Structure 1
Amino acid sequence: MLTFVGLGLYDERSVTVAGRDAIRDADRVFAEFYTSRLVGTDLEALEEYHDTTIEVRDRAGVERDPGPVLDAAETDDVVFLTAGDTMVSTTHTDLRLRAEERGIETRVVHGTTAQTAAGSLTGLQNYRFGKATTLPFEQAHGGDGVPDSVVATIEDNRSRDLHTLVYLDIKVDDPHWDDSDDTYMTADHAAGLLAEEFPETLGVVVARAGSPDPAVVADTLPELATRTFGDPLHLLVIPGDLHPMEEDALDAIAGLP
């Protein structure tokens, strides 16, 4: 059996009760933290909270060499942990399909997602979000500024009066959570990049969703680019035209100018 467990958004306590039960009952526990991170905790605290040993796999160990995970799941109850909701990344879907091809039973224990948290924290209506996109670091896509695909996604959503959730790039080079090797794109940096393509456009920053001190700030992209929003993780939402209730929510929650 291979059970995928989403750990939620922030720290070791963000997991659901069902997820904690699955971890408790597992013979072996694997994890990856390169697609996203729980910035409110570390590996040691996770292991202590769940009273287990967690075997962390890097990108190559999940995507190119998943054999140890699948071999274990053929004979034991194995849990595979990720931040957020475990099936948001196609990497995890691929691993699940490989397991099914080998006749390994799989199941999913969901965790809270950044997308649902962004809607909840901002007051923007969930059904009005269009296609999401990820804004990469400039050096990651080999060019300057914002990739055409990101611009096209935002423009298409705005043309249909939909909000765009912009995930911000993270670079995690050490699977064992060496903070010196981690780089997180900040919302002010992202706003500065997007302001070149969408001047005077409204943006909404969501910082540290799922933590005890999340921040939600609404302003034009050029203004957001001049501010700081504290510790990661950050998200950025580019809204479509606001419903009156959404406008009231952003005014009350995010200081809508």
Structure 2
Amino acid sequence: MLTFIGLGLYDADSITCEGRNALREADRVFAEFYTSTLLGATVADLEAAHDIDIEVRDRAGVEQDPEAILAAAETEDVAFLTAGDTMISTTHSDLRIRAEARGIETRVLHGVTAETAASGLTGLQNYRFGKAVTLPFPFVHGAGDVPPSVIESIEANQERGLHTLVYLDIKVDYHKRRGGPDLEDPYMTASHAAELLAAEWDDDALAVVVARAGSPEPLVAADRLSALADREFGEPLHLLVIPGDLHHVEADALAVLADAPAELVDIDE
């Protein structure tokens, strides 16, 4: 059995009760934290909280050489952990398909993900979101500061009146794996993301920062991209939302929950 378990957004307590029970019953536990991570808990914290040993795999050890995981799951009850929801953004469908092809039974135990948290914290309605994008660090793709595909996706959503969720890049140990620079901060900040988008897309556009979703003290702030670029939003993880057309309830929510300037959300002062 191979059970995919989402750990939620922040710490050892963010997992669901169902996920916690399955984790504690597993014979062997693997995890990856290269696509996202829990900023409120280390691997040691997770091991202590759930009384388990965790074998952390890098990208190659999951996507290119998953044999250790699959071989264990053929004879044991194996748990595979990711931050957030194990099949949303941190997608491991390939690993699940490989397991099923080998006759290994699989199941998915979902966790809270940034996608739903962004909607819940900002007050933007979840069914009014279009295609999500990931904004990478400029050194990763070598195609200018913002890949054209990111701007194209935002503009396509805007044309349909839809909101865009912008995931921000994480490059922990990138320099060790790929020869990239040794980053002082491997987590892209919302201010850096706003600066990039303001310079290459629209500095006057309304955007919403969500910082530390799932933590005891999340932060939500809405303003023009140019204004957000000059602010500090504290510890990671951060993400951005580029709103599309606003329902009047959404406009009220951004004004009340994110201190959006009235002129940006068409609310009379």
Same fold at TM > 0.5 = yes
The unaligned stretches of length 5 or more in structure 2 are 175-182, 262-269
Pick from 189, 192, 195 the counterpart of residue 186 of structure 1. Answer: 189
Q: Which residue of 1 aligns with 2:169?
A: 169
Contact 2:82 2:90 (8 Å CA) reproduced: no
1:128 aligned partner: 128
Aligned residues: 253
Counterpart of 1:151, as a letter, is I
- What is the CA–CA distance in structure 2 between the aligned matches of 1:99 and 1:182, rounded to whole Å? 36
In structure 1, the partner of 2:253 is 249
Distance 1:152 1:44 in 2: 41
The alignment yields a C-alpha RMSD, in angstroms, of 1.4
Alignment partners' CA distance in 1, 2:56 and 2:145: 34
Q: What pairs up with 1:117-156 in 2 under 5 angstroms?
A: 117-156=117-156
Deviations 1:134-183 (Å, cap 9, x if unpaired)? 00000011132210000000000000000000000000118xxxxx8860
Give me the whole-angstrom Cα distance separating, in 1, the residues matched to 2:105 and 2:184: 36
Q: Secondary structure at the match of 1:183?
A: coil
Give me the whole-angstrom Cα distance separating, in 2, the residues matched to 1:143 and 1:108. 36
C-alpha change, 1:14 and 1:170, in structure 2 (3 Å) is same
Task: Work out the CA distance in 2 between the residues paired with 1:122 and 1:90.
Answer: 22
Q: 1:47 to 1:3 in 2, by over 3 A?
A: same
CA distance in 2, matches of 1:134, 1:171: 13
Runs of 4+ in 1 over 4 A off after TM superposition: none
Asked if the contact 1:172–1:181 (Cα under 8 Å) also holds between the matched residues in 2, the reply is no
Inter-CA distance 182–46: structure 2 relative to 1 (3 Å threshold): farther
Cα distance, 1:241 vs structure 2: 1.7
Give the Cα–Cα distance (whole angstroms) in 2 for the partners of residues 168 and 76 of structure 1. 36
Report the TM-score, using the length of structure 2 for normalisation: 0.92
Separation in structure 2 between the aligned mates of residue 92 and residue 190 of structure 1, nearest angstrom: 26
1:93 alignment partner AA:
S
- Does the alignment pair 1:224 with 2:194? no
% identity of equivalent residues: 68
Residues 1:208 and 2:223 are matched in the alignment: no
| Residue segments in structure 1 that go unaligned for 5+ positions in a row | 175-179
Residue in 2 that maps onto 1:11:
11
Distance change (3 Å), C-alpha of 1:250 and 1:184:
same
CA contact (8 A) 1:173 1:182 kept: no
SS of 1:170's partner is coil
Counterparts of residues 37-116 of structure 1 (less than 5 Å): 37-89=37-89, 91-116=91-116
d(CA) in 1 for partners of 2:91, 2:195: 30
* CA distance in structure 1 between the aligned counterparts of 2:37 and 2:221, rounded to whole angstroms: 22
TM-score by length of 1: 0.96
After TM superposition, give the deviation of residue 97 of structure 1 in Å: 0.4
Cα displacement (A) at 1:199: 2.3
> Matches of 2:248 and 2:91 in 1, distance apart?
39
Q: Which moved more, 1:15-24 or 1:84-93?
A: 84-93
- Structure 1 pair 144–188 and aligned structure 2 pair: CA distance change class (3 A): same
Higher mean alpha-carbon deviation, 98-107 vs 192-201, is at 192-201
Q: Aligned partners of 1:102 and 1:181: how far apart in 2?
A: 42
Whether contact under 8 Å (2:9, 2:38) holds in the other structure is yes
What's the counterpart of residue 177 of structure 1?
A: none
Q: Is the 8 A contact 2:35 2:90 kept in 1?
A: no
